[in-house]
């Protein structure tokens, strides 16, 4: 198949999923065309079957906001025609599903009917998409997609609750490529560069936005380190970084918290991590939790959204109510203070992550593409 993929080519979870999906499809022999504003970060285009078409936005002084939607729709039309694309898969509804709908209508004028698959990722439905400013356009573009998927059952429920949806919504979970994980050996894991042998290492990886509740991460760690000698690694960049830094200073744990900034070396960091913290306000799936589990790291998380579909309470880690830092710290200490228990949870987290292996998820997207190409739904 010739597949067009539209996504945010940044560090966000939806961009990571779209990129990994494209790479896996290309490895299976499909021609995959990324149509995005920049080259997706995890993509190496010196690979067979992968193509990149950059969406340029022409600046003009009259524009207060640059019309990215228009530029994307035009690029989609051009790419579908030029590369004979069979299907367009758009990740994150805003504005991708809307731009794809426009492209579809333009293509109809020249006798091409391109099916659109829209994958909803989370905040395009919850925090942002359901805001009255965007809701009518988001609802319209979901209803006019040929197929719609969500990354968890919880997000499907949110979509049906918040919008008037007339389409069938299919859940296709996010996934992990264990082959890539396996290429990582423990000898590469330089734990002693970050902590002494008697210290445990906790980690949090995110874009440090308020929705991730990074201050809760610091508060949990503050309680944990009173009981267990430990270090905290914070990976990512975002608006709450400074607040987190200040709170760490205020609580007197600044010297035990390492801010690593944005990193392409998540696997390297996870291999030396004992426990992953994800106390988010809302989380449709929690790809970061799955990545941690796939690297043998149990997860202490909130029980919001789709997190309970990924992190199994008492098996792969523990879940608590949003904001309940006492409970999260209690669970973290429970795991960290008993070496045998921690080992058991590490093993269980790794095993449980296998239900989300790329081998089991990829065929679901492929059969969805085949269905929409054949039937238009
Ligand atoms: O919240 C983020 O980290 C970014 C956001 C995105 O769309 O890039 O993530 C959402 O999509 C991820 C991939 O499907 C999910 O794993 C995240 O749970 C989801 N984030 C939220 O729902 C807040």
Distance 161 CA to ligand 1 centre (A): 19
Residues 199 and 338 in one domain: yes
Is residue 288 pLDDT above 80, yes or no? yes
- What was the pLDDT predicted at 268? 85
Is 28:362 a contact under the CB 8 Å cutoff?
Answer: yes
Residues 350 and 361 in one domain: no
The residue whose CA is least distant from atom 4 of ligand 1 is 12
Banded model confidence at residue 46, pLDDT cuts 50, 70, 90: low
User: Environment class of residue 245 by beta-carbon count within 10 Å: exposed (0-12), middle (13-18) or buried (19+)?
Assistant: middle
Query: What six digits make up the tokens of 159?
Result: 């979509």
Torsion angles phi and psi, residue 34, rounded to 5: -85, 125
Is residue 102 pLDDT above 80, yes or no? yes
Residues 196 and 169 in one domain: no
Grouping H, G, I as helix, E, B as strand and the rest as coil, residue 89 is strand
Distance 286 CA to ligand 1 centre (A): 7
Please indicate whether residue 155, judged by its CB atom, sits closer than 6 Å to ligand 1. Answer: no
Residues 222 and 87 in one domain: no
Q: Looking at the chain, how many residues does it have?
A: 377
Give the span between the Cα atoms of 282 and 305, in whole angstroms: 6
Please indicate whether residue 287, judged by its CB atom, sits closer than 6 Å to ligand 1. Answer: yes
Q: What average pLDDT does the chain have?
A: 94
Q: Which residue has the tokens 């359901």?
A: 130
Counting from 1 in the atom list of ligand 1, the atom nearest the Cα of 281 is 23
Banded model confidence at residue 186, pLDDT cuts 50, 70, 90: low
Q: Which residue has the tokens 């291999």?
A: 271
Give the span between the Cα atoms of 358 and 361, in whole angstroms: 5
Bridge partners (DSSP) of residue 201 are 231
Distance 206 CA to ligand 1 centre (A): 10
Please indicate whether residue 230, judged by its CB atom, sits closer than 6 Å to ligand 1. Answer: no
CATH number at residue 96: 3.40.50.2000
Please indicate whether residue 207, judged by its CB atom, sits closer than 6 Å to ligand 1. Answer: yes
Grouping H, G, I as helix, E, B as strand and the rest as coil, residue 232 is strand
pTM > 0.85:
yes
Residues 59 and 206 in one domain: no
Distance 374 CA to ligand 1 centre (A): 31
Q: What is the rounded average pLDDT of the residues 370-376?
A: 89
Q: What is the rounded average pLDDT of the residues 332-339?
A: 98
Please indicate whether residue 272, judged by its CB atom, sits closer than 6 Å to ligand 1. Answer: no
Q: What is the rounded average pLDDT of the residues 235-239?
A: 94
Cα angle for residues 180, 182, 183 (degrees, 5° grid): 70
Banded model confidence at residue 376, pLDDT cuts 50, 70, 90: low
Residues 367 and 339 in one domain: no
Q: What is the rounded average pLDDT of the residues 28-48?
A: 86
Q: What is the rounded average pLDDT of the residues 44-48?
A: 72
Banded model confidence at residue 291, pLDDT cuts 50, 70, 90: very high
Residues 20 and 168 in one domain: yes
Give the span between the Cα atoms of 30 and 215, in whole angstroms: 43
Q: Which residue has the higher pLDDT, 192 or 164?
A: 164
Give the torsion through C-alpha atoms of 150, 155, 157, 158, to 10 deg: -120
Strands of the sheet with 299-302, listed across from one edge: 257-261, 230-235, 200-205, 275-278, 299-302, 317-320
The residue whose CA is least distant from atom 12 of ligand 1 is 13
- What was the pLDDT predicted at 183? 61
The residue whose CA is least distant from atom 7 of ligand 1 is 14
Distance 151 CA to ligand 1 centre (A): 9
Banded model confidence at residue 184, pLDDT cuts 50, 70, 90: low
Taking only the tens place, the pLDDT of each residue in 355-369 is 999 999 999 999 999
Give the span between the Cα atoms of 18 and 348, in whole angstroms: 27
Residues 186 and 154 in one domain: no
Give the span between the Cα atoms of 360 and 244, in whole angstroms: 38
Distance 232 CA to ligand 1 centre (A): 22
Domain enclosing residue 138, as ranges: 2-175+357-375
Distance 12 CA to ligand 1 centre (A): 7
Distance 17 CA to ligand 1 centre (A): 10
Residues 261 and 309 in one domain: yes
Grouping H, G, I as helix, E, B as strand and the rest as coil, residue 270 is helix
Is 148:168 a contact under the CB 8 Å cutoff?
Answer: yes
Residues 274 and 197 in one domain: yes
Residues 87 and 157 in one domain: yes
Residues 37 and 89 in one domain: yes
Task: Report the domain count for the chain.
Answer: 2
Give the span between the Cα atoms of 319 and 309, in whole angstroms: 11
Please indicate whether residue 129, judged by its CB atom, sits closer than 6 Å to ligand 1. Answer: no
Please indicate whether residue 213, judged by its CB atom, sits closer than 6 Å to ligand 1. Answer: no
Please indicate whether residue 17, judged by its CB atom, sits closer than 6 Å to ligand 1. Answer: yes
Counting from 1 in the atom list of ligand 1, the atom nearest the Cα of 288 is 16
Please indicate whether residue 13, judged by its CB atom, sits closer than 6 Å to ligand 1. Answer: yes
Is residue 275 pLDDT above 90, yes or no? yes
Banded model confidence at residue 377, pLDDT cuts 50, 70, 90: low
């Amino acid at each position: 198949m010739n597949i067009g993929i539209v996504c945010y080519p940044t560090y966000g979870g939806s961009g990571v999923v779209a990129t990994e999906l494209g790479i896996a499809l290309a490895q299976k022999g499909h021609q995959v065309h990324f149509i995005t504003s920049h080259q997706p970060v995890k993509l190496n285009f010196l690979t067979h079957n992968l193509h990149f078409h950059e969406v340029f936005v022409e600046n003009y002084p009259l524009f207060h906001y640059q019309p990215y939607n228009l530029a994307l729709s035009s690029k989609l039309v051009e790419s579908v025609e030029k590369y004979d694309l069979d299907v367009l898969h758009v990740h994150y509804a805003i504005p991708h599903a809307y731009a794809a709908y426009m492209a579809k209508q333009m293509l109809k004028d020249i006798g091409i009917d391109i099916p659109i698959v829209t994958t909803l990722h989370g905040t395009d439905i919850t925090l942002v998409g359901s805001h009255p400013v965007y809701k009518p356009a988001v609802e319209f573009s979901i209803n006019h997609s040929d197929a719609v998927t969500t990354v968890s059952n919880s997000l499907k429920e949110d979509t049906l609750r918040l919008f008037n949806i007339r389409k069938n919504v299919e859940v296709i979970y996010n996934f992990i490529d264990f082959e890539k994980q396996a290429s990582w050996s423990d000898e590469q894991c330089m734990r002693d560069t970050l902590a002494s042998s008697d210290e445990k290492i906790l980690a949090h990886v995110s874009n440090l936005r308020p929705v991730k509740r990074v201050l809760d991460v610091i508060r949990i760690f503050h309680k944990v380190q009173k009981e267990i000698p430990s270090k905290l690694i914070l990976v990512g960049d975002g608006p709450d970084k400074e607040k987190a830094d200040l709170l760490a200073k205020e609580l007197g744990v600044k010297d035990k918290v390492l801010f690593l900034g944005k990193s392409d070396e998540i696997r390297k960091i996870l291999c030396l991590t004992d426990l992953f913290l994800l106390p988010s306000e809302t989380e449709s799936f929690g790809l970061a939790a799955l990545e941690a589990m796939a690297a043998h790291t149990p997860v202490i998380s909130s029980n919001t959204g789709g997190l309970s579909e990924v992190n199994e309470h008492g098996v792969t880690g523990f879940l608590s109510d949003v904001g309940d830092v006492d409970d999260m710290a209690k669970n973290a200490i429970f795991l960290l203070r008993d070496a045998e228990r921690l080992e058991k949870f590490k093993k269980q987290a790794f095993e449980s992550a296998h239900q989300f292996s790329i081998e089991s998820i990829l065929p679901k997207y492929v059969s969805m593409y085949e269905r929409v190409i054949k039937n238009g739904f």
